[in-house]
Amino acid sequence: MTLTPERWQRARDILHEAMEMEHEDMSAYLDSQCASDPSLRAELKELLAAEGEIDSSFLEKPALANATPPSQTSDRTSVLPSGTTLGPYVIQSLIGAGGMGEVYRARDASLKRDVAIKVLPASFSRDPDRLRRFQLEAEAAAALNHTNILSIFHIGQQDGSPYIVTELLEGETLRDRLRRGALKLRDAIDIAIQAAKGLAAAHEKGIAHRDLKPENLFLAKDGHVKILDFGLAKLMQPTAGSDTPTASLRDHTDAGRVLGTVGYMSPEQVRGQPADTRSDIFSLGCVLYEMLTGKRAFRKPTSVETMNAILNEDPPAASDITRAIPPALERVVHRCLDKSPERRFQSAADLAFALDALSDSAAAGTGVTRGTAAQPDSGTGGSRKVWLALSVVLLLASMGLGWWYWKRRPIEKGEIRQRQLTATTAENPILQAAISRDGKYLAYSDKDGISIQDVVNGDAYRLPGILTILVL
């Protein structure tokens, strides 16, 4: 049903009120507000699911709990009873349901293992666009083989309903975890690293996800992060001579059509422009921001306002929400969320590398970060002198190695300009500094260790130097 302006205003008012409620109160509130208009309730359910506010099956749980045989269910919900067979697979129970189908726990009778089966109901398969997206998800995911991407075992069809058989995961989605608040710094970085590595593997095959969000990141009990749902995946133009198994995939999406989830879409997706792998980096930046702060990077009262914020606004600095975020990590997040794809990380592999360099700084409970020397025992003057002498010697050695490395880089002549590159404080002054011969990089040391700074964009990276390793 098409929403008229008046109907949309009513839907928006109810939606705003519902989103302020706890999940256990939300269903009852919608029931009371939409008692005379069941179609409006269905539309609100889809809007809430699109916002990622709830599991898309949440409002249907009472119906699923008392599900009748498939022949008696509506077109909207088609639940397969326990014991139903799909080829060699025997359905055991329903795991969840969403806009792209239902997911069941099943038993592979031939290989004697438990699997997950995602089924697109027959009523949905009659929608050519939905069926096309489901098939594209299967093709894209089946072409990938990486520890951080959900493994596909089989693709089949029965009684007009296509299905995908995947590995069965035990754990929870990142969305479920975020409902308990922001993550520890170490955990957030680790999840982002694994997600970036999974994306890098997909991008190498020419596939962009285009719908990365907490609902599509699964935190398995064994510690692995799995990327789910390549239903919006797009195959970029393969390189000349490419013989990858994904070369036959095609982009079936329509030009100018907005695809993705509001709040996690990149600016180019909001505009309906072509979205490449750098769009996934923007989305992962949104997810990382939310893991660190417990708040969404872009969230406004309505979807339209949220999309406008993605196009024209920067989110509040993560350090303004929680001071536990290191400046270097905040710069990584800021770079992911740049409005221009050209100014983001240009590959997921580069992003994973940058995050990996920061991962040790989140060691829980130690109070010691990478590049930060442990404080000497202030009660012993002799120990302090030894520590200081060792620090000076090792610092000079590290600086010498750094200078030798940068000296080997080719020299590019350019115009001489004068500018301030660092800001020093009385608490943490710059001890020594050297600029590379090509003028592109600055190496400097302070009490926290040695850093390399990109002169052009100001990004600085802490080096795990000899000093830090020995002292720690």
Helix (H) or strand (E) holding 204: helix 185-204
3-state secondary structure at position 28? helix
- CA–CA gap between residue 123 and residue 138 (Å, rounded): 19
Contact by Cβ (8 Å): 181, 270:
no
Structure tokens at 196: 């970036």
Structure tokens at 334: 């800021």
Measure CA 416 to chain center.
Answer: 42
Burial of 53 (0-12, 13-18, 19+ CB in 10 A): middle
Q: Is the dihedral of CA 386, 389, 393, 394 positive or negative?
A: positive
CA atoms within 13 A on the CB side of 267: 16
**If you ran DSSP here, which 8-state letter would residue 443 be given?**
E
Burial of 292 (0-12, 13-18, 19+ CB in 10 A): buried
Catalytic residues: 211
Instruction: Write down the residue that tokens 């003028």 correspond to.
Output: 439
Contact by Cβ (8 Å): 346, 298:
no
**If you ran DSSP here, which 8-state letter would residue 222 be given?**
T
**If you ran DSSP here, which 8-state letter would residue 373 be given?**
P
Contact by Cβ (8 Å): 90, 84:
yes
Radius of gyration in angstroms for the set of CA atoms belonging to the chain, rounded to a whole number = 26
Structure tokens at 427: 């608490």
- CA–CA gap between residue 53 and residue 132 (Å, rounded): 26
Picking from 396, 408, 365, the residue whose alpha carbon sits closest to that of residue 465 is 396
Q: Which residues contact 80 (CB under 8 A, 6 or more apart)?
A: 70, 91, 94, 102, 104, 119
Alpha-carbon dihedral of residues 288, 294, 297, 301, nearest 10 degrees? 150
3-state secondary structure at position 435? strand
Picking from 184, 201, 185, 311, the residue whose alpha carbon sits closest to that of residue 258 is 311
Identity (one letter) of the amino acid at 328?
A
- CA–CA gap between residue 117 and residue 115 (Å, rounded): 7
